[in-house]
Structure 1
Protein backbone atom coordinates (compact mmCIF):
# COMPACT_ATOMS: atom_id res chain seq x y z
CA UNK A 1 0.00 0.00 0.00
CA UNK A 2 1.38 3.44 -0.89
CA UNK A 3 2.53 5.53 2.05
CA UNK A 4 0.16 8.21 3.30
CA UNK A 5 -2.72 6.82 1.22
CA UNK A 6 -5.93 8.64 2.09
CA UNK A 7 -8.84 6.78 3.60
CA UNK A 8 -12.07 6.90 1.56
CA UNK A 9 -13.59 9.21 4.18
CA UNK A 10 -10.69 11.69 4.08
CA UNK A 11 -10.73 11.64 0.27
CA UNK A 12 -14.46 12.45 0.30
CA UNK A 13 -13.96 15.28 2.80
CA UNK A 14 -11.27 16.83 0.61
CA UNK A 15 -13.47 16.52 -2.48
CA UNK A 16 -16.46 18.10 -0.71
CA UNK A 17 -14.39 21.03 0.57
CA UNK A 18 -12.73 21.52 -2.81
CA UNK A 19 -16.10 21.55 -4.60
CA UNK A 20 -17.55 24.02 -2.07
CA UNK A 21 -14.56 26.36 -2.34
CA UNK A 22 -14.76 26.36 -6.13
CA UNK A 23 -18.48 27.10 -5.97
CA UNK A 24 -18.41 29.91 -3.40
CA UNK A 25 -15.26 31.56 -4.75
CA UNK A 26 -16.37 31.63 -8.37
CA UNK A 27 -15.35 34.91 -9.97
CA UNK A 28 -12.46 35.25 -7.50
CA UNK A 29 -8.88 34.18 -8.14
CA UNK A 30 -6.93 32.18 -5.58
CA UNK A 31 -4.61 35.18 -5.21
CA UNK A 32 -7.58 37.40 -4.32
CA UNK A 33 -8.86 34.80 -1.87
CA UNK A 34 -5.38 34.59 -0.35
CA UNK A 35 -5.33 38.35 0.19
CA UNK A 36 -8.75 38.25 1.90
CA UNK A 37 -7.94 35.32 4.18
CA UNK A 38 -4.22 35.65 4.80
CA UNK A 39 -3.82 32.01 3.73
CA UNK A 40 -0.87 31.54 1.32
CA UNK A 41 -1.77 30.80 -2.31
CA UNK A 42 0.27 27.58 -2.15
CA UNK A 43 -1.85 26.39 0.79
CA UNK A 44 -5.11 27.38 -0.89
CA UNK A 45 -4.02 25.55 -4.02
CA UNK A 46 -3.69 22.38 -1.94
CA UNK A 47 -7.28 22.75 -0.71
CA UNK A 48 -8.64 23.32 -4.22
CA UNK A 49 -6.62 20.44 -5.69
CA UNK A 50 -7.56 18.06 -2.82
CA UNK A 51 -3.92 17.67 -1.77
CA UNK A 52 -4.58 18.82 1.81
CA UNK A 53 -7.42 19.35 4.27
CA UNK A 54 -7.93 22.79 5.89
CA UNK A 55 -8.01 22.86 9.69
CA UNK A 56 -10.74 24.65 11.63
CA UNK A 57 -8.79 27.93 11.68
CA UNK A 58 -8.52 27.97 7.89
CA UNK A 59 -12.21 27.07 7.52
CA UNK A 60 -13.12 30.05 9.71
CA UNK A 61 -11.02 32.43 7.60
CA UNK A 62 -12.47 31.06 4.36
CA UNK A 63 -16.06 31.27 5.59
CA UNK A 64 -15.57 34.91 6.66
CA UNK A 65 -13.94 35.85 3.35
CA UNK A 66 -16.66 34.14 1.31
CA UNK A 67 -19.48 35.33 3.60
CA UNK A 68 -20.87 31.85 4.19
CA UNK A 69 -21.26 29.56 7.18
CA UNK A 70 -18.37 27.28 8.11
CA UNK A 71 -20.64 24.29 7.46
CA UNK A 72 -21.22 25.56 3.91
CA UNK A 73 -17.55 24.83 3.23
CA UNK A 74 -16.94 21.89 5.53
CA UNK A 75 -20.00 19.62 5.89
CA UNK A 76 -18.48 18.10 9.05
CA UNK A 77 -19.40 21.35 10.81
CA UNK A 78 -23.12 21.14 10.07
CA UNK A 79 -25.29 22.24 13.02
CA UNK A 80 -27.43 19.18 12.64
CA UNK A 81 -24.42 17.05 13.51
CA UNK A 82 -23.02 18.89 16.55
CA UNK A 83 -23.54 22.01 18.70
CA UNK A 84 -21.97 25.31 17.66
CA UNK A 85 -19.53 25.31 20.56
CA UNK A 86 -18.04 21.91 19.71
CA UNK A 87 -15.09 21.68 17.33
CA UNK A 88 -15.14 18.32 15.55
CA UNK A 89 -12.14 16.05 15.90
CA UNK A 90 -11.44 14.66 12.45
CA UNK A 91 -8.67 12.29 13.49
CA UNK A 92 -5.88 11.58 15.92
CA UNK A 93 -2.14 11.36 15.44
CA UNK A 94 0.39 9.72 17.76
CA UNK A 95 3.09 12.12 18.97
CA UNK A 96 6.25 10.55 20.45
CA UNK A 97 7.31 11.45 24.00
CA UNK A 98 11.11 11.46 24.04
CA UNK A 99 13.16 10.25 26.96
CA UNK A 100 16.94 10.21 27.00
CA UNK A 101 18.39 11.03 23.60
CA UNK A 102 20.78 8.37 22.33
CA UNK A 103 24.15 9.69 21.20
CA UNK A 104 24.40 10.25 17.45
CA UNK A 105 20.87 9.08 16.66
CA UNK A 106 18.24 11.17 14.87
CA UNK A 107 16.08 12.97 17.43
CA UNK A 108 13.03 10.81 16.64
CA UNK A 109 14.90 7.50 16.60
CA UNK A 110 12.85 4.68 18.12
CA UNK A 111 15.30 4.18 21.00
CA UNK A 112 14.66 7.78 22.13
CA UNK A 113 10.89 7.30 22.43
CA UNK A 114 9.29 6.49 25.80
CA UNK A 115 5.67 6.39 24.65
CA UNK A 116 3.18 7.96 22.23
CA UNK A 117 0.54 10.56 23.09
CA UNK A 118 -2.64 10.88 21.02
CA UNK A 119 -3.19 14.42 19.71
CA UNK A 120 -6.20 15.72 17.67
CA UNK A 121 -5.18 16.51 14.10
CA UNK A 122 -7.38 19.65 14.15
CA UNK A 123 -5.07 21.50 16.49
CA UNK A 124 -1.80 20.77 14.71
CA UNK A 125 -0.55 22.90 11.84
CA UNK A 126 1.78 21.21 9.36
CA UNK A 127 5.11 19.97 10.67
CA UNK A 128 6.77 17.24 12.72
CA UNK A 129 6.05 17.15 16.45
CA UNK A 130 7.35 15.47 19.58
CA UNK A 131 6.84 15.79 23.33
CA UNK A 132 9.49 16.37 26.00
CA UNK A 133 8.97 16.04 29.74
CA UNK A 134 10.14 19.15 31.60
CA UNK A 135 12.79 18.36 34.22
CA UNK A 136 13.60 20.71 37.09
CA UNK A 137 12.37 24.17 37.98
CA UNK A 138 14.39 26.46 35.70
CA UNK A 139 11.34 27.38 33.60
CA UNK A 140 8.87 27.90 36.47
CA UNK A 141 6.31 29.35 36.62
CA UNK A 142 5.90 29.10 32.83
CA UNK A 143 6.65 25.37 32.61
CA UNK A 144 6.52 23.36 35.84
CA UNK A 145 8.59 20.27 36.54
CA UNK A 146 7.05 17.14 35.03
CA UNK A 147 4.89 18.90 32.42
CA UNK A 148 4.69 17.27 29.00
CA UNK A 149 5.70 19.92 26.47
CA UNK A 150 4.69 19.74 22.80
CA UNK A 151 7.51 20.73 20.43
CA UNK A 152 7.33 21.56 16.72
CA UNK A 153 10.57 20.36 15.17
CA UNK A 154 12.48 23.22 13.50
CA UNK A 155 16.14 24.31 13.46
CA UNK A 156 15.63 27.87 14.69
CA UNK A 157 13.14 30.14 16.47
CA UNK A 158 12.67 33.85 17.17
CA UNK A 159 14.22 35.57 20.16
CA UNK A 160 12.17 35.36 23.38
CA UNK A 161 10.42 32.17 22.23
CA UNK A 162 10.92 28.95 24.20
CA UNK A 163 12.86 26.19 22.48
CA UNK A 164 13.82 22.60 23.05
CA UNK A 165 17.62 22.68 22.88
CA UNK A 166 20.04 19.77 22.65
CA UNK A 167 23.30 20.24 24.54
CA UNK A 168 25.47 18.36 22.07
CA UNK A 169 28.28 17.36 24.45
CA UNK A 170 25.92 15.67 26.91
CA UNK A 171 23.06 14.73 24.52
CA UNK A 172 20.72 16.28 27.10
CA UNK A 173 17.61 18.14 25.95
CA UNK A 174 16.60 21.26 27.84
CA UNK A 175 13.77 23.81 27.59
CA UNK A 176 14.91 27.43 27.61
CA UNK A 177 13.96 30.84 26.24
CA UNK A 178 16.25 31.98 23.41
CA UNK A 179 18.09 35.31 23.50
CA UNK A 180 20.80 36.51 21.12
CA UNK A 181 23.29 39.35 21.49
CA UNK A 182 26.24 40.22 19.25
CA UNK A 183 26.04 36.88 17.48
CA UNK A 184 25.99 34.90 20.72
CA UNK A 185 23.05 32.73 21.82
CA UNK A 186 21.94 32.51 25.44
CA UNK A 187 19.56 29.95 26.93
CA UNK A 188 17.48 31.90 29.42
CA UNK A 189 15.56 30.38 32.34
CA UNK A 190 12.25 31.94 33.35
CA UNK A 191 13.04 31.25 36.99
CA UNK A 192 15.28 34.09 38.27
CA UNK A 193 16.97 31.70 40.68
CA UNK A 194 18.72 30.04 37.73
CA UNK A 195 21.54 31.47 35.59
CA UNK A 196 21.55 31.81 31.78
CA UNK A 197 23.53 29.29 29.75
CA UNK A 198 26.00 30.63 27.19
CA UNK A 199 26.20 28.65 23.94
CA UNK A 200 29.68 28.68 22.37
CA UNK A 201 32.33 26.30 20.99
CA UNK A 202 33.10 25.10 24.51
CA UNK A 203 29.42 24.54 25.29
CA UNK A 204 27.78 23.69 21.93
CA UNK A 205 24.04 23.30 21.48
CA UNK A 206 21.46 23.17 18.73
CA UNK A 207 17.79 24.05 18.64
CA UNK A 208 15.49 21.06 18.16
CA UNK A 209 12.20 22.90 17.92
CA UNK A 210 9.72 25.44 19.23
CA UNK A 211 7.53 24.95 22.29
CA UNK A 212 3.85 24.97 21.24
CA UNK A 213 2.01 24.08 24.45
CA UNK A 214 2.21 21.87 27.51
CA UNK A 215 0.12 19.22 29.25
CA UNK A 216 0.08 18.83 33.03
CA UNK A 217 -1.12 15.62 34.68
CA UNK A 218 -2.92 16.19 38.00
Structure 2
Protein backbone atom coordinates (compact mmCIF):
# COMPACT_ATOMS: atom_id res chain seq x y z
CA UNK A 1 0.00 0.00 0.00
CA UNK A 2 1.10 3.55 -0.66
CA UNK A 3 1.32 6.14 2.11
CA UNK A 4 -1.88 7.74 0.81
CA UNK A 5 -3.75 4.43 0.78
CA UNK A 6 -2.69 3.76 4.37
CA UNK A 7 -3.90 7.17 5.53
CA UNK A 8 -7.22 6.72 3.73
CA UNK A 9 -7.73 3.20 5.15
CA UNK A 10 -7.06 4.35 8.73
CA UNK A 11 -9.24 7.43 8.34
CA UNK A 12 -12.15 5.29 7.16
CA UNK A 13 -11.51 2.70 9.87
CA UNK A 14 -11.88 5.48 12.45
CA UNK A 15 -14.90 6.86 10.58
CA UNK A 16 -13.39 10.29 10.01
CA UNK A 17 -14.03 12.55 7.05
CA UNK A 18 -11.12 14.31 5.35
CA UNK A 19 -12.31 17.55 6.97
CA UNK A 20 -12.36 15.97 10.45
CA UNK A 21 -8.88 14.49 10.07
CA UNK A 22 -7.58 17.79 8.72
CA UNK A 23 -8.96 19.62 11.76
CA UNK A 24 -7.24 17.19 14.15
CA UNK A 25 -3.94 17.69 12.32
CA UNK A 26 -4.25 21.46 11.94
CA UNK A 27 -4.02 21.33 8.15
CA UNK A 28 -6.34 22.23 5.28
CA UNK A 29 -8.70 19.50 4.00
CA UNK A 30 -6.99 19.84 0.62
CA UNK A 31 -3.75 18.62 2.26
CA UNK A 32 -5.40 15.38 3.42
CA UNK A 33 -6.93 14.94 -0.02
CA UNK A 34 -3.50 15.40 -1.65
CA UNK A 35 -1.94 12.84 0.69
CA UNK A 36 -4.59 10.25 -0.07
CA UNK A 37 -4.14 10.81 -3.83
CA UNK A 38 -0.36 10.46 -3.35
CA UNK A 39 0.04 13.93 -4.84
CA UNK A 40 1.99 14.95 -1.75
CA UNK A 41 3.35 13.40 1.44
CA UNK A 42 2.73 14.54 5.03
CA UNK A 43 5.60 16.01 7.02
CA UNK A 44 7.06 14.02 9.88
CA UNK A 45 5.25 15.99 12.60
CA UNK A 46 1.88 15.16 11.02
CA UNK A 47 2.88 11.52 10.65
CA UNK A 48 3.68 11.39 14.36
CA UNK A 49 0.27 12.86 15.25
CA UNK A 50 -1.50 10.36 12.97
CA UNK A 51 0.47 7.47 14.46
CA UNK A 52 -0.77 8.46 17.92
CA UNK A 53 -4.30 9.18 16.69
CA UNK A 54 -4.64 5.83 14.90
CA UNK A 55 -2.59 3.87 17.46
CA UNK A 56 -0.02 2.57 14.97
CA UNK A 57 3.81 2.85 14.90
CA UNK A 58 5.01 5.83 12.85
CA UNK A 59 6.85 3.42 10.52
CA UNK A 60 3.40 2.21 9.40
CA UNK A 61 3.23 5.24 7.12
CA UNK A 62 6.42 4.46 5.21
CA UNK A 63 6.37 2.40 2.07
CA UNK A 64 7.85 -1.08 2.44
CA UNK A 65 8.82 -3.21 -0.52
CA UNK A 66 7.04 -6.50 0.16
CA UNK A 67 9.39 -8.36 -2.17
CA UNK A 68 12.55 -7.12 -0.51
CA UNK A 69 13.73 -9.28 2.38
CA UNK A 70 15.64 -6.34 3.89
CA UNK A 71 12.35 -4.48 4.51
CA UNK A 72 13.28 -0.90 3.90
CA UNK A 73 11.36 2.16 4.97
CA UNK A 74 11.73 5.65 3.56
CA UNK A 75 12.85 8.35 5.96
CA UNK A 76 13.13 12.09 5.31
CA UNK A 77 16.37 13.93 4.66
CA UNK A 78 16.09 17.51 5.90
CA UNK A 79 18.13 20.27 4.37
CA UNK A 80 16.78 22.97 6.61
CA UNK A 81 15.63 23.11 10.22
CA UNK A 82 14.81 26.35 12.01
CA UNK A 83 14.81 27.02 15.74
CA UNK A 84 13.11 30.16 16.98
CA UNK A 85 11.50 31.04 20.29
CA UNK A 86 12.27 27.56 21.57
CA UNK A 87 10.36 25.84 18.75
CA UNK A 88 12.05 23.49 16.30
CA UNK A 89 10.53 23.45 12.81
CA UNK A 90 11.53 20.81 10.28
CA UNK A 91 11.02 22.16 6.77
CA UNK A 92 9.88 20.02 3.83
CA UNK A 93 12.36 17.14 3.31
CA UNK A 94 14.65 17.44 0.29
CA UNK A 95 14.19 13.71 -0.34
CA UNK A 96 13.19 10.42 1.26
CA UNK A 97 15.91 7.78 1.63
CA UNK A 98 15.45 4.02 1.75
CA UNK A 99 16.53 2.77 5.19
CA UNK A 100 16.87 -0.82 6.50
CA UNK A 101 14.06 -1.43 8.95
CA UNK A 102 16.54 -3.09 11.33
CA UNK A 103 18.20 0.30 11.92
CA UNK A 104 15.00 1.61 13.46
CA UNK A 105 14.40 0.81 17.10
CA UNK A 106 12.19 2.90 19.34
CA UNK A 107 11.83 6.56 18.54
CA UNK A 108 11.82 8.69 15.41
CA UNK A 109 14.63 8.89 12.86
CA UNK A 110 15.67 11.22 10.05
CA UNK A 111 18.65 12.21 7.92
CA UNK A 112 20.60 15.44 7.57
CA UNK A 113 23.58 16.26 5.35
CA UNK A 114 26.89 17.24 6.95
CA UNK A 115 28.23 20.66 6.06
CA UNK A 116 31.75 22.02 6.42
CA UNK A 117 34.92 20.55 7.88
CA UNK A 118 34.43 21.04 11.62
CA UNK A 119 34.02 17.28 12.30
CA UNK A 120 36.76 15.82 10.11
CA UNK A 121 38.47 14.36 13.18
CA UNK A 122 35.44 12.09 13.56
CA UNK A 123 35.70 11.19 9.84
CA UNK A 124 32.63 13.25 9.01
CA UNK A 125 33.11 15.25 5.83
CA UNK A 126 31.16 17.87 3.92
CA UNK A 127 28.24 16.25 2.11
CA UNK A 128 28.13 13.04 4.15
CA UNK A 129 24.67 11.75 5.05
CA UNK A 130 23.94 11.46 8.77
CA UNK A 131 21.35 9.07 10.17
CA UNK A 132 19.91 10.67 13.30
CA UNK A 133 17.59 9.63 16.11
CA UNK A 134 15.34 12.54 17.06
CA UNK A 135 15.88 13.44 20.74
CA UNK A 136 16.50 16.61 22.72
CA UNK A 137 19.09 15.24 25.15
CA UNK A 138 22.34 13.32 24.66
CA UNK A 139 25.05 11.97 26.97
CA UNK A 140 28.21 14.02 27.44
CA UNK A 141 30.58 13.53 24.54
CA UNK A 142 28.00 12.15 22.11
CA UNK A 143 27.73 13.65 18.64
CA UNK A 144 24.46 15.46 18.07
CA UNK A 145 22.71 17.64 15.52
CA UNK A 146 22.07 20.99 17.16
CA UNK A 147 19.75 23.64 15.78
CA UNK A 148 21.19 27.16 16.08
CA UNK A 149 18.77 29.77 14.72
CA UNK A 150 18.28 28.57 11.11
CA UNK A 151 21.35 26.36 10.98
CA UNK A 152 22.00 22.71 11.80
CA UNK A 153 25.45 22.07 13.27
CA UNK A 154 26.96 18.71 14.15
CA UNK A 155 29.09 18.75 17.32
CA UNK A 156 30.13 16.75 20.33
CA UNK A 157 27.92 18.01 23.13
CA UNK A 158 28.96 18.48 26.73
CA UNK A 159 26.87 19.88 29.58
CA UNK A 160 28.36 21.87 32.43
CA UNK A 161 26.59 24.15 34.90
CA UNK A 162 23.49 24.11 32.75
CA UNK A 163 25.30 25.29 29.62
CA UNK A 164 25.99 23.50 26.34
CA UNK A 165 29.57 23.20 25.17
CA UNK A 166 29.64 22.38 21.45
CA UNK A 167 32.99 20.83 20.58
CA UNK A 168 34.23 20.42 17.00
CA UNK A 169 36.53 17.64 15.83
CA UNK A 170 38.89 20.09 14.16
CA UNK A 171 41.50 22.10 16.11
CA UNK A 172 40.84 25.14 13.92
CA UNK A 173 37.40 25.56 15.52
CA UNK A 174 37.24 26.57 19.21
CA UNK A 175 34.45 25.24 21.48
CA UNK A 176 31.19 27.20 21.43
CA UNK A 177 29.36 27.73 24.72
CA UNK A 178 25.63 28.41 24.98
CA UNK A 179 23.16 28.76 27.82
CA UNK A 180 19.73 27.40 26.79
CA UNK A 181 18.04 29.72 29.30
CA UNK A 182 19.32 32.87 27.61
CA UNK A 183 20.09 31.51 24.15
CA UNK A 184 16.53 30.51 23.29
CA UNK A 185 17.23 29.61 19.68
CA UNK A 186 19.38 26.58 20.40
CA UNK A 187 18.10 23.03 20.69
CA UNK A 188 19.52 19.53 20.39
CA UNK A 189 17.41 17.87 17.71
CA UNK A 190 19.01 14.46 17.34
CA UNK A 191 21.77 12.02 18.17
CA UNK A 192 24.07 10.67 15.47
CA UNK A 193 23.41 6.97 14.94
CA UNK A 194 25.19 6.21 11.67
CA UNK A 195 27.36 7.92 9.09
CA UNK A 196 26.45 7.21 5.47
CA UNK A 197 29.39 7.72 3.12
CA UNK A 198 28.53 7.98 -0.57
CA UNK A 199 31.13 7.53 -3.31
Q: Quote the offset at 1:182 in angstroms.
A: 2.1
8 Å contact kept, 2:159–2:165? yes
Corresponding position of 1:145: 126
Task: Write out the 4+ residue segments of structure 1 that deviate beyond 4 Å after TM superposition.
Answer: 102-106
TM (norm. structure 1) is: 0.55
The one of the two structures with greater contact order (alpha-carbon pairs below 8 A, sep at least 6) is: 2
TM-superposition CA deviations, 1:49-103 (whole Å, max 9, x none) = xx99xxxxxxxxxxxxxxxxxxxxxxxxxxxxxxxxxxx52x1111111012256
1:178 aligns with 2:153: no
Mapping 1:177-216, distance limit 5 Å: 177-200=156-179, 201-202=182-183, 204-216=185-197
- 2:120 aligns to what SS in structure 1? coil
RMSD (CA atoms): 2.4
When residues 197 and 212 of structure 1 are mapped into structure 2, their CA distance, relative to the original with a 3 A threshold, is same
Instruction: Call closer, same or farther: CA 1:102–1:179 in 2, change over 3 Å.
Output: closer
- Of Structure 1 and Structure 2, the greater strand share is in 2
Supply the distance in 1 between the matched residues of 2:160 and 2:83 (Cα, whole angstroms).
30
CA contact (8 A) 2:82 2:147 kept: no
Are residues 158 and 102 of structure 1, via their aligned partners in 2, closer, same or farther at CA, if it must alter by over 3 Å? closer
Unpaired runs of at least 5, structure 1: 6-50, 53-87
Aligned length: 132
**2:96 corresponds to which residue?**
116
